[in-house]
Structure 1
């Protein structure tokens, strides 16, 4: 089976994290060297290290800025009289902070392919902490009880039906679009069984694109996975250390494990997930969710490497960014137990 990038080749890696980190940097160094004129190896290595440290510096600056805005909003609220607080100002501040956190999450997803695994996990934890802080701030600034409607007149009977209220702690982000990737991957296939192992490879990200009526089996771990334009496909993947971004899938069954999963334009598809954060859907309908059910030789070790060895049950805690009402979104549901596949076993002996 052919790959779309020559960098997707078998390598024997030292199991030590330091060696793995070194191999990742060497690969990125080669990519930089290909884009530039020929230069000494030491110069290319220096450029790679600068790229990694550049991301970490930018990420840290953005994180500190968000933390500062959260702290400032909390301080202003606590020091102001309750009669002088402006709910619309609070909502605007919360929306701005939410957008900043989404931008930070996007920055991490777009750069996770060259980052060491431990940096990806650490950065994901920081993003998760920021989201928790924002949720706590939202609960403080806009308590739900403030959204109840009361009649001041004693002569009027209460209205028989109250208007539906939007969740105060959910802010709609900008339209989510999966970027087109020039990464290694499987593209433009029809009616094929596609098997790939990442064992012994330091590949950072992988793409599945323009597949129709295919069965895809991926074993081992990668930092990021991108899915574009899949129809009538079954996709079974080992754990992803960073993010899975999905755009335009229809009539598919996808068995996925990752720290964060974002789904855009999915229709009539079933997702079997293990995920650390809440799955996000947008512009989707007819999607159903169930727990991760994949099995292959070595999967327990892969799950542990990716920090996904513990089940969080977040597969059932789906956020629909196009449905901000307090009632359940009609666009997704939990897959009934009698319709679920209890376990899917695949081979881990594919050529890498």
Structure 2
């Protein structure tokens, strides 16, 4: 409805053909300008909806495409594969990296996906890992284990311990409320079978994709730099300080330990009386655990901010306080975990790659 001023202006222009024509031209320009703004706004909204990572339909499409691609590579590898062991290993590492990328996608999607979708997607990732492990066993048969007559005199804190046949194939399972997720820990670089030692590994400039820490008692572990995946098994009274893990961390059987780590996914099985200082993109998962407490990530070393940024872990999500207990299905808070009281938290842990280089603020 026109105002009195607009009505008077319209009447005056009717009496003057020149003014009337200018008035019509002005109205047309204003109408065209408004329509252009509306069209641009709709176009931007359409682009945002189709590309947004928080779109469930977009996630499912990307997830399905990646899954099919990985399955195709695994199937093709069984038919035609390189004969050179180094080429085979490179090919397997490439598939493993694709699975890690898919796992990272699930971690990012956990912000908006329903719980059942997250669990289903994690199960798919686990199945792909298992398929890759089976393929690796087919293409690269495990070497026979034999004890050496003499142990070489090397730095025990940096050289991985010779593993037994049992350790070379450690099967670790993490259950959801409906089904088991099985992870095959292959013959990986790592620290094993130590007691009362300081163990340091610096990943900066290295090509280590996965690392394992197992069978340690009263040890201090410092992992500096980024690694793709970390497997922790059978630790007692240990302190574990870890830089960013690009994929996932799996912890199985830990008692009386402190973990400071950043990762896209962290799954904890059979932990008792442990404290976890975490930065994690998805909700931490615990199962068959009790007396575990959680607090925010508090690790510092030279270059840690750059490492966190490169691993897309530079932002604090607050998920360290949003723990899923897969053994607790009731609506009330699980009694198996709690937040670490602020007056009991360590504010910052500073580490270096020198033995004993740890300082708490």
| TM-score of the superposed pair, with normalisation by structure 1 | 0.57
Residue 45 of structure 1: which of 72, 75, 87 is its match?
87
Cα gap change, 1:323 to 1:250, in 2 (>3 Å): same
Residue 258 of structure 1: which of 242, 245, 263 is its match?
263
Q: SS state of the match for residue 180, structure 2?
A: coil
Instruction: State the Cα distance separating 1:175 from its structure 2 match.
Output: 3.1
Alignment of 1:20-99 (within 5 A): 39=83, 45=87, 48-49=90-91, 52=94
Supply the distance in 2 between the matched residues of 1:50 and 1:297 (Cα, whole angstroms).
Answer: 32
Q: Does 1:100 align with 2:120?
A: yes
Cα gap change, 1:56 to 1:251, in 2 (>3 Å): closer
1:335 aligned residue: 340
Instruction: State the Cα distance separating 1:48 from its structure 2 match.
Output: 4.1
Supply the distance in 2 between the matched residues of 1:232 and 1:52 (Cα, whole angstroms).
Answer: 36
Residue 217 of structure 1: which of 203, 214, 222 is its match?
222
Cα gap change, 1:39 to 1:196, in 2 (>3 Å): same
Residue 252 of structure 2: which of 247, 256, 262 is its match?
247
Larger Rg: 2
Contact 2:276–2:295 (8 Å) recurs in 1? yes
Q: SS state of the match for residue 228, structure 2?
A: strand
Supply the distance in 1 between the matched residues of 2:345 and 2:333 (Cα, whole angstroms).
Answer: 21
Instruction: State the Cα distance separating 1:348 from its structure 2 match.
Output: 3.9
Supply the distance in 2 between the matched residues of 1:279 and 1:179 (Cα, whole angstroms).
Answer: 20
1:228 aligned residue: 233
Supply the distance in 2 between the matched residues of 1:223 and 1:110 (Cα, whole angstroms).
Answer: 17
1:189 aligned residue: 194
Q: Does 1:312 align with 2:332?
A: no
Unaligned runs of 5+ in 1: 1-31, 64-93, 114-170
Supply the distance in 2 between the matched residues of 1:328 and 1:202 (Cα, whole angstroms).
Answer: 41
Q: SS state of the match for residue 122, structure 2?
A: helix
Instruction: State the Cα distance separating 1:104 from its structure 2 match.
Output: 1.8
Give structure 1 regions of 4+ aligned residues with deviation exceeding 2 angstroms.
37-41, 44-57, 97-100, 107-113, 175-181
Deviations 1:293-312 (A, max 9, x none): 00000000110111100100
1:154 aligned residue: none
Q: How many residues matched? A: 222
Contact 1:102–1:173 (8 Å) recurs in 2? no
Instruction: State the Cα distance separating 1:53 from its structure 2 match.
Output: 5.8
Supply the distance in 2 between the matched residues of 1:271 and 1:208 (Cα, whole angstroms).
Answer: 16
